[in-house]
Amino acid sequence: MAEKIVVRHVKIAGRPFVLRSSDVERALHSVDPEPIASHFVVVGTRRFPPKQVLSELTGLDRADFTTHQARRTLIRLGFPAGRRGVAAPHSPVHGQAVPALERLADRMRPLSGQWVAIKDDDIIHASRSPQELVGWLGQHGQRADSMFRVPEDELASTGLAPL
Protein backbone atom coordinates (compact mmCIF):
# COMPACT_ATOMS: atom_id res chain seq x y z
CA MET A 1 0.00 0.00 0.00
CA ALA A 2 1.45 3.35 -1.06
CA GLU A 3 1.75 6.15 1.46
CA LYS A 4 -0.62 9.06 1.14
CA ILE A 5 0.94 12.21 -0.29
CA VAL A 6 -0.29 15.35 1.47
CA VAL A 7 -0.47 18.57 -0.58
CA ARG A 8 -0.80 22.05 0.95
CA HIS A 9 -1.11 25.50 -0.62
CA VAL A 10 0.68 27.95 1.66
CA LYS A 11 1.90 31.53 1.62
CA ILE A 12 5.32 32.10 3.21
CA ALA A 13 7.05 35.48 3.21
CA GLY A 14 4.30 36.75 0.90
CA ARG A 15 5.01 34.09 -1.74
CA PRO A 16 2.61 31.25 -2.64
CA PHE A 17 3.89 27.66 -2.58
CA VAL A 18 2.37 24.27 -3.33
CA LEU A 19 4.12 21.84 -0.96
CA ARG A 20 3.90 18.04 -1.06
CA SER A 21 5.03 15.65 1.66
CA SER A 22 6.89 13.62 -0.99
CA ASP A 23 8.84 16.76 -2.02
CA VAL A 24 10.03 17.19 1.58
CA GLU A 25 11.38 13.64 1.71
CA ARG A 26 13.02 13.96 -1.70
CA ALA A 27 14.59 17.37 -0.88
CA LEU A 28 16.15 16.08 2.35
CA HIS A 29 17.22 12.63 1.17
CA SER A 30 20.91 13.58 0.89
CA VAL A 31 20.92 16.52 3.35
CA ASP A 32 22.54 16.17 6.77
CA PRO A 33 20.39 17.46 9.63
CA GLU A 34 21.79 20.46 11.46
CA PRO A 35 21.93 20.47 15.28
CA ILE A 36 18.56 20.71 17.02
CA ALA A 37 18.36 23.77 19.27
CA SER A 38 14.81 23.20 20.52
CA HIS A 39 12.15 22.27 17.95
CA PHE A 40 12.42 19.50 15.38
CA VAL A 41 10.41 17.69 12.73
CA VAL A 42 10.92 14.06 11.78
CA VAL A 43 11.50 13.28 8.12
CA GLY A 44 11.97 9.58 7.52
CA THR A 45 13.95 8.50 10.56
CA ARG A 46 15.89 11.74 11.03
CA ARG A 47 15.18 14.87 13.07
CA PHE A 48 15.66 18.24 11.40
CA PRO A 49 15.28 21.84 12.58
CA PRO A 50 12.00 23.04 10.99
CA LYS A 51 13.62 26.13 9.46
CA GLN A 52 16.28 23.98 7.74
CA VAL A 53 13.56 21.83 6.17
CA LEU A 54 11.42 24.71 4.94
CA SER A 55 14.44 26.60 3.61
CA GLU A 56 15.65 23.53 1.68
CA LEU A 57 12.15 22.98 0.29
CA THR A 58 11.32 26.55 -0.74
CA GLY A 59 14.73 28.16 -1.30
CA LEU A 60 13.72 30.98 1.06
CA ASP A 61 16.17 32.56 3.47
CA ARG A 62 15.55 31.39 7.04
CA ALA A 63 15.08 35.00 8.16
CA ASP A 64 11.94 35.15 5.96
CA PHE A 65 9.86 32.96 8.30
CA THR A 66 9.68 31.86 11.93
CA THR A 67 10.31 28.46 13.43
CA HIS A 68 6.64 28.35 14.39
CA GLN A 69 5.56 28.93 10.77
CA ALA A 70 7.93 26.24 9.51
CA ARG A 71 6.87 23.76 12.18
CA ARG A 72 3.15 24.37 11.60
CA THR A 73 3.54 24.00 7.82
CA LEU A 74 5.43 20.72 8.16
CA ILE A 75 2.97 19.31 10.71
CA ARG A 76 0.15 20.07 8.27
CA LEU A 77 2.07 18.09 5.65
CA GLY A 78 1.94 15.13 8.04
CA PHE A 79 5.40 15.21 9.61
CA PRO A 80 5.65 14.61 13.36
CA ALA A 81 7.17 17.42 15.39
CA GLY A 82 8.56 17.75 18.87
CA ARG A 83 10.91 19.54 21.19
CA ARG A 84 14.20 18.35 22.63
CA GLY A 85 13.73 16.81 26.02
CA VAL A 86 10.06 15.89 25.48
CA ALA A 87 9.58 12.12 25.62
CA ALA A 88 6.88 11.57 22.98
CA PRO A 89 6.36 14.16 20.27
CA HIS A 90 2.84 14.46 18.90
CA SER A 91 1.51 15.01 15.45
CA PRO A 92 -1.68 17.10 15.66
CA VAL A 93 -2.63 15.79 12.22
CA HIS A 94 -3.10 12.30 13.62
CA GLY A 95 -3.53 13.26 17.28
CA GLN A 96 -1.37 10.49 18.66
CA ALA A 97 2.16 9.95 19.94
CA VAL A 98 4.82 8.82 17.48
CA PRO A 99 5.83 5.41 18.90
CA ALA A 100 9.15 5.14 17.00
CA LEU A 101 10.44 8.21 18.84
CA GLU A 102 9.70 7.05 22.37
CA ARG A 103 12.87 5.05 22.93
CA LEU A 104 16.42 5.79 21.84
CA ALA A 105 16.96 2.15 20.86
CA ASP A 106 13.96 2.28 18.52
CA ARG A 107 15.26 5.49 16.90
CA MET A 108 18.66 3.85 16.28
CA ARG A 109 17.27 0.73 14.58
CA PRO A 110 17.29 2.26 11.06
CA LEU A 111 20.88 3.45 11.62
CA SER A 112 22.36 -0.06 11.88
CA GLY A 113 26.03 -0.13 10.91
CA GLN A 114 26.43 3.66 11.24
CA TRP A 115 28.32 5.67 13.82
CA VAL A 116 26.11 7.83 16.04
CA ALA A 117 26.72 10.71 18.44
CA ILE A 118 24.39 10.81 21.46
CA LYS A 119 23.70 13.73 23.78
CA ASP A 120 21.02 13.82 26.49
CA ASP A 121 19.32 10.66 25.18
CA ASP A 122 19.06 12.16 21.70
CA ILE A 123 20.80 11.22 18.45
CA ILE A 124 22.74 14.30 17.39
CA HIS A 125 24.04 12.87 14.12
CA ALA A 126 24.84 9.61 12.31
CA SER A 127 27.65 9.00 9.80
CA ARG A 128 29.27 6.14 7.93
CA SER A 129 32.59 6.51 9.76
CA PRO A 130 33.85 7.85 13.08
CA GLN A 131 35.99 10.40 11.19
CA GLU A 132 32.91 11.80 9.38
CA LEU A 133 31.03 11.95 12.68
CA VAL A 134 33.81 13.80 14.51
CA GLY A 135 34.15 16.15 11.53
CA TRP A 136 30.42 16.96 11.61
CA LEU A 137 30.50 17.56 15.37
CA GLY A 138 33.48 19.91 15.00
CA GLN A 139 31.96 21.76 12.04
CA HIS A 140 28.74 22.40 13.98
CA GLY A 141 30.38 23.11 17.34
CA GLN A 142 28.64 20.15 18.97
CA ARG A 143 29.77 17.83 21.77
CA ALA A 144 28.40 14.36 22.35
CA ASP A 145 28.01 12.40 25.57
CA SER A 146 28.93 9.24 23.66
CA MET A 147 29.77 7.94 20.20
CA PHE A 148 29.46 4.38 18.99
CA ARG A 149 28.64 2.16 16.05
CA VAL A 150 25.08 0.85 15.98
CA PRO A 151 25.21 -2.97 15.68
CA GLU A 152 24.12 -4.35 12.32
CA ASP A 153 21.99 -7.16 13.75
CA GLU A 154 20.77 -8.79 16.97
CA LEU A 155 23.78 -11.14 17.18
CA ALA A 156 26.24 -8.25 16.95
CA SER A 157 24.34 -6.36 19.64
CA THR A 158 24.84 -9.19 22.15
CA GLY A 159 28.61 -9.10 21.77
CA LEU A 160 28.73 -12.86 21.32
CA ALA A 161 30.86 -14.47 18.63
CA PRO A 162 28.91 -16.37 15.94
CA LEU A 163 28.93 -20.15 16.18
Residue 143 in contact with residue 119, Cβ under 8 Å?
A: yes
Residue 82 in contact with residue 89, Cβ under 8 Å?
A: yes
Distance, CA of 110 to CA of 139 (rounded, Å): 24
60-115: per-residue pLDDT in tens? 999 999 999 999 999 999 999 888 765 444 444 444 444 444 577 777 777 888 88
Q: Which pTM was predicted?
A: 0.65
What share of the chain has pLDDT > 90, as a percent? 34
Measured in residues, the chain has a length of: 163
